[in-house]
Copies of this chain bind each other. A is one copy, B any other.
Amino acid sequence: MPNIRDVAKRAGVAPITVSRVINNSGYVSDETRRRVEEAIDELGYVPNMLGPSLRFNRTNTLALLVSDITNPFWTTVVRGVEDAANENGYYIILGNTDESEEKVTEYLDMMLRRRIDGFLLVPGKSNSASVQMIREQNIPVVVLDRQVSDPKVDVVRSDSRGGAYQLTQHLLALGHQHISALTGSHHISTSTDRVTGYTQAMTEANLSPDAIRVFWGDFTQTSGFEMTKQALAVDPPPTALLAANNFIAIGALKYLREAGVRVPEDISLVAFDDLPLSLTIDPFLTVAVQPAYEMGYQATELLLNRLSNGTTRDSKEIILPVEIVVRKSTGSPQKGNSLTGELRL
């Protein structure tokens, strides 16, 4: 592979002049530029970024660690990150962590060895060691979607508490009193925040404290299935369910379907996260839609901002609003309502 010296020799100039042609910097006469460009073409020269990267410790690369790209929510976040990065000349190294702190640590090490300019990451736990590891190396980090205990870290997340609050209020307004919340792990802030929002709405409605029923599991379909089974076994059974993410909602629907419970006639269901519209025939679920793309995009902009303006500025927490989309999975309790929208996706 030819290097800048080969090109320079061929064009009869110094390497630095070739560099100037490539980067459109400094002064180069038209004639010289022409000769250099000719030499570049003839040799098929592609500059080696590793040189300057090593020299100036700038790789123009960001690390992006998400829990599982297979979840359409994260997919969309990734897309937002990528687009924002590319628009600014940055590229993305991707890693799926499957919520495992061990995998996070392993990735982290490899990313640091590559001298990534900055990190976008979703920590497995709120008191994540990973964020600390990065901060020790003085690399900018932006945490996606979740809160962390370290108050000096930039975070971009959506309003989980508020969204759950509104979803619960929607159910209360319809007349529901027995609402069960199905959520994820205790360690994940989105999981606990959504419970907080639910509890807040329930409390404000002056419902008896034992009306508050929270089932803790994880953000998976099977867990949603199991939690729904448990929730329905309680006496009196709930007339509405709040699923804390899309997978839990699907698991809930699966169980309800098997159990012959109709939605929304027999039970109402609200959920966090929309299902991808590109795969949806007839949107059915009443949901709190998180601005996933925006989250990725804004997090990246925040990170790039840190990169150019240094780490001095105060840490920033961007909380994106959540949009409640009322569709066909909710109705009045008991006798049902006129909505007979079939259960469709």
A136 CB–B CB distance under 8 Å: yes
Say whether chain A's binding surface is mostly helix, strand, loop, or mixed: mixed
Interface size on A, residues (CB 8 A): 59
In the bound complex, do residue A48 and residue B250 qualify as a contact, i.e. CB atoms below 8 Å apart? no
Which of A76, A257, A343 has the most C-beta atoms of chain B within 10 angstroms of its own C-beta?
Answer: A343
A153 CB–B CB distance under 8 Å: no
Expressed in whole angstroms, the Cα–Cα distance for A83 and B94 within the complex equals 11
| Residues A48 and B44 in contact in the complex (CB < 8 Å), given A91-B95, A281-B254 | no
Copies in the complex: 2
Tell me the smallest distance from the CB of A292 to a CB of chain B, in Å: 10
In the bound complex, do residue A136 and residue B250 qualify as a contact, i.e. CB atoms below 8 Å apart? no
B-side contacts of A82, CB under 8 Å: 69, 94-96
A92 CB–B CB distance under 8 Å: yes
B-side contacts of A246, CB under 8 Å: 279
A237 CB–B CB distance under 8 Å: no
A174 CB–B CB distance under 8 Å: no
B-side contacts of A138, CB under 8 Å: 1
| Residues A115 and B50 in contact in the complex (CB < 8 Å), given A91-B110, A278-B221 | yes
Tell me the smallest distance from the CB of A231 to a CB of chain B, in Å: 17
Q: Which residue of B lies closest to A222 (CB)?
A: B278
A residues 79-106 with Cβ under 8 Å of B? Answer: 79, 82-83, 86, 91-96
Q: A92-B93, A276-B279 are in contact. List 12 more A-B contacts (CB 8 A).
A: A46-B112, A46-B113, A48-B113, A49-B115, A50-B59, A51-B54, A54-B54, A71-B278, A82-B96, A91-B110, A91-B114, A279-B279
